[in-house]
Structure 1
């Protein structure tokens, strides 16, 4: 095989020469400086915005009032509750003694069950006074009330008067009963009795 001789001058290449490399120690030092804690803290400080105190924007209104009357500040509420109703005074007609009433007050006929039924129907708020004037104590009145109040005051009065005519027959006269009713006063009952009274009826 024939040997070929190459001349160095005849050899050519398309590669470009690279620049000379820097010292490795210098490059390492610069990298450390870039990544040091001081440098990172500086970056963080740059990112953080400085804190500023918020100033309140509320505005206080100051009002000075001098030499004034009837000043009202704030909401005003009006509530109408309605006017209280005036109590109507019932004017009772004065009942005078008529001739028929005078006869009743002097009547000596005994009190019958029909009479006490009539009285118990029309007697009013003074029924306790009537019972006291007939000789009953507060305890006896309360006992009659407890026994009969469920039915009504009418039944309470009827039972008291029934007990009276049964236990005190000598006292149980029409005149005595009418006198007690008149002085209680339960004059309305006596007046009704005088208008309705008939010796044959009772």
Structure 2
């Protein structure tokens, strides 16, 4: 069982928009409950149905990514923190742990700003 550690809390507090790599990772690992999870982050069920209907030959991972991209572009709540908190609440704790590791690595690799 994944416990909520400091990295996960930092991720859930993040107000930045999720980048492509976070959306791709989320699309790949939301599993069978992805529809319920997407509705819980504010994606309308009809949008989900439309993507599925209009893209019957696309891999489900790609459809999930496109739906998340639509959410990113059209939702005021589309932040990495909001996404990860909802994933956590919907039982995707291992996925949130992986996203938190990605986020931690990004922060560690940031160039520190020099004081003038």
TM-score normalised to the size of structure 2?
0.81
Q: CA offsets per residue over residues 81-140 of structure 1, 9 Å max, x none?
A: xxxxxxxxxxxxx21111111111111111222221121122211110121112223222
Partner of 2:35: 128
- 5+ residue gaps in structure 2? 111-116
TM-score normalised to the size of structure 1?
0.49
The structure richer in helix per residue is 2
SS at match of 2:31: coil
Partner of 1:180: 86
**Aligned-residue RMSD, C-alpha:** 1.8
Alignment of 1:89-128 (within 5 A): 94-128=1-35
SS at match of 2:14: coil
Change (3 A) 1:178 1:149: farther
d(CA) in 1 for partners of 2:11 and 2:4? 10
Q: Does the aligned pair in 2 maintain the 1:148–1:155 contact within 8 Å? A: no
* Alignment coverage as a number of residue pairs: 107
2:59 is aligned with 1:156 = no
d(CA) in 2 for partners of 1:136 and 1:105? 19
- 5+ residue gaps in structure 1? 1-93
Q: Structure with the greater relative contact order (CA < 8 A, sep ≥ 6): 1 or 2? A: 2
Partner of 1:171: 77
Q: Does the aligned pair in 1 maintain the 2:27–2:61 contact within 8 Å? A: yes
Higher gyration radius (CA): 1
